[in-house]
Amino acid sequence: MRTVSENACFGGVQSVHTHASRATGCDMTFGLFLPAEARDGPVPVLWYLSGLTCTHENAMTKAGAQGWAAEQGIALVFPDTSPRGDGVADDAAYDLGQGAGFYVNATQDPWAPHYRMWDYIADDLPRVLTANFPIDPDRQAITGHSMGGHGALTLAMSLPGRFTSVSAFAPICNPTASDWGRKQFTAYLGEDEAAWAAHDASLLMRDRGFDGPVLIDTGTSDQFLDLLRPEALASACAERRQHATLRLQPGYDHSYFFISSFMEDHVSFHAEALYSG
């Protein structure tokens, strides 16, 4: 692992690191914020999964999360959204290839050799974090935006006991029924739609639910609202009687202005769950 940068931030340290990933077969980059409390021992961690076209850096510099995390004594992890490099398959479209890993393990060529973002987030990066930093593996929460909100929800429901709480900003809620999902799942996972169900938050909510609190925020002026399909997740939560708070925020769009406006709510939401256990 190599440290790219370290900066003092709200009494703690915001750093960026690269490492050789066993999951993706290439070097990966992630951002990590450690609050002041990490100097004295392991701290809880909140994962932030970013959306299409993003790297580790977008949320790290735009979401305004570090100040609120510092108040709560929580670490923040900002992974990249896909494998990258000259030998990694890519596509000219913004919603496929590098920057658009969709948090799945690809089974189809040319994506299969490197696009294993599920394994990277679920297994590879957690091992790196707990081996090298004062992160408490028993106190983890997860959030994300758009494609990252999809990833946060599907990982949380598929890894029972891993995360105390899950939240999302404008998540892709029903990708098997959306152009943001059907295109990528066909490319990465093949045309057998049965293989897609494990990566659809609305279907997982109906089938499994989540054993913990859920918070979802979506803007009513989100320019991608029809692709996000928040109504599908709301229906699934109602059918399952899931403990969840789903909010439509009047006038907000899909941007980081929206995310930063409600970041305090989300960090406080996760802090309550992380410290209540």
Tokens of 151: 């990833």
Q: How many other CB atoms are there within 10 angstroms of residue 251's CB atom?
A: 8
Structure confidence by residue, pLDDT tens digits, 62-80: 999 999 999 999 999 999 9
Structure confidence by residue, pLDDT tens digits, 196-235: 999 999 999 999 999 999 999 999 999 999 999 999 999 9
Under 8 Å between Cβ of 166 and 141: yes
pLDDT of residue 145: 98
222 is catalytic: yes
138 is catalytic: no
Under 8 Å between Cβ of 84 and 26: yes
Q: Is the pTM of this model over 0.95?
A: yes
Domains and CATH numbers, the chain: 2-275 (3.40.50.1820)
Task: Give the H/E segment covering residue 261.
Answer: helix 256-276
User: Which amino acid, one-letter code, is at 274?
Assistant: L
User: Of residues 146, 167, 178, 202, which has the active-site annotation?
Assistant: 146
Q: What is the mean pLDDT of residues 51-55?
A: 98
pLDDT of residue 98: 98
pLDDT of residue 89: 98
254 is catalytic: yes
pLDDT of residue 277: 65
User: Of residues 17, 82, 222, 266, which has the active-site annotation?
Assistant: 222
Separation between Cα atoms, residue 97 and residue 148, nearest integer Å = 15
User: Of residues 56, 199, 254, 266, which has the active-site annotation?
Assistant: 254
3-state secondary structure string, the chain?
Answer: CEEEEEEEECCEEEEEEEEECCCCCCEEEEEEEECHHHHCCCEEEEEEECCCCCCCHHHHHHCCCHHHHHHHCCEEEEECCCCCCCCCCCCCCCCCECCECCCCECCCCCCCCCCEHHHHHHHHHHHHHHHHCCEEEEEEEEEEECHHHHHHHHHHHHCCCCCCCEEEECCCCCHHHCHHHHHHHHHHHCCCHHHCHHHCHHHHHHHCCCCCCEEEEEECCCCCHHHHCHHHHHHHHHHHCCCEEEEEECCCCCCHHHHHHHHHHHHHHHHHHHHHC
pLDDT of residue 263: 98
- The mean pLDDT of the chain is 97
Structure confidence by residue, pLDDT tens digits, 123-164: 999 999 999 999 999 999 999 999 999 999 999 999 999 999
Under 8 Å between Cβ of 57 and 31: yes
Q: Output helix, strand, coil percentages for the chain, rounded to the nearest 5.
A: 40, 25, 35
